[in-house]
Amino acid sequence: MSKKNYFVTFLQKFNLSINSLLEKYLNKLKFIKLSNIVNSNKALLIFVALIIFFLSYISIPHIYNKLEVKTELENRLFNKFNINFNFSKNFNYNFFPRPHFTVEDSSIVENQIEISEIKRLRIYVSLNNLFSLKKMIIKDVILENTNFNFNTKNSDFFLKILDNNFLETSFVVKNSNVFFRNIEEEVFIYDGY
């Protein structure tokens, strides 16, 4: 029995020591310090709320109808660059690292002739006016892994691209190929110099 009493008395003393430590430190806290803690939590809550609002704002294009966005972007690109893009069904919106639309397996068509096959097309948009699809601003257009078919019939298309004004929007072609084709649509091969 003495062992049980010893253990019970040990727990009681331990409980009293914890209570006295809590009372000692809680008494040191004053109302001013508590108000500082509450104010710092308000700042933290405001910061978290701003982050949530920002993430909600940049995710607004997810709400739009994909077909409307697709046709609006095709029209905007045609008006801006005079290039007729034909988007596929693989059309997505991403907001990291910055807001952009990604189109997989698209093409450029001129006079019902396919001029290029584009594996990935990225259209970066401005952070301004994401609420309105009509007021969305295209900042950059990046074509990746594109195969261009160049021949005498579509040579004016490539000259037309070079005549565009790229002051407000950049047009970048990455990791792409240009195939020179003859009249029979065969790829021109250079055997020597």
User: Residue 106's pLDDT is what?
Assistant: 94
Residue finishing a domain among 58, 77, 103: 58
| Number of domains within the chain | 2
Sequence-ordered strand ranges (E) for the chain: 85-86, 91-94, 100-110, 113-125, 138-150, 170-174, 177-180
Judge whether 192 lies within some domain: no
Of the candidates 125, 122, 147, which has an alpha carbon nearest to the alpha carbon of residue 137?
125
Which is higher by pLDDT, 96 or 117?
117
Per the prediction, the chain carries an average pLDDT of: 83
Task: Locate 57 and state its tokens.
Answer: 């704002």
Q: Are 147 and 177 in contact (CB under 8 A)?
A: yes
User: Residue 192's pLDDT is what?
Assistant: 47
Q: Which has the minimum average pLDDT: 33-37, 65-69, 130-134?
A: 33-37
- 77 with 172, same domain: the answer is yes
Q: Are 139 and 124 in contact (CB under 8 A)?
A: yes
- 76 with 153, same domain: the answer is yes
Judge whether 190 lies within some domain: no
- Encode pLDDT of 61-114 as tens digits: 888 888 999 999 999 999 988 889 999 878 899 888 889 999 999 999 988 888
Distance CA 130, CA 133 (A): 7
- 38 with 112, same domain: the answer is no
- 12 with 78, same domain: the answer is no
Domain of residue 47, residue span: 2-58
pLDDT mean over 18-32: 70
Q: 33 falls in which pLDDT band (50, 70, 90)?
A: low
- 53 with 69, same domain: the answer is no
- 24 with 104, same domain: the answer is no
- 94 with 161, same domain: the answer is yes
Residue labelled with tokens 């994401």: 130
Which is higher by pLDDT, 16 or 118?
118
Angle (CA) 141 75 81, round 5° = 50
Q: 186 falls in which pLDDT band (50, 70, 90)?
A: confident
User: Residue 32's pLDDT is what?
Assistant: 55
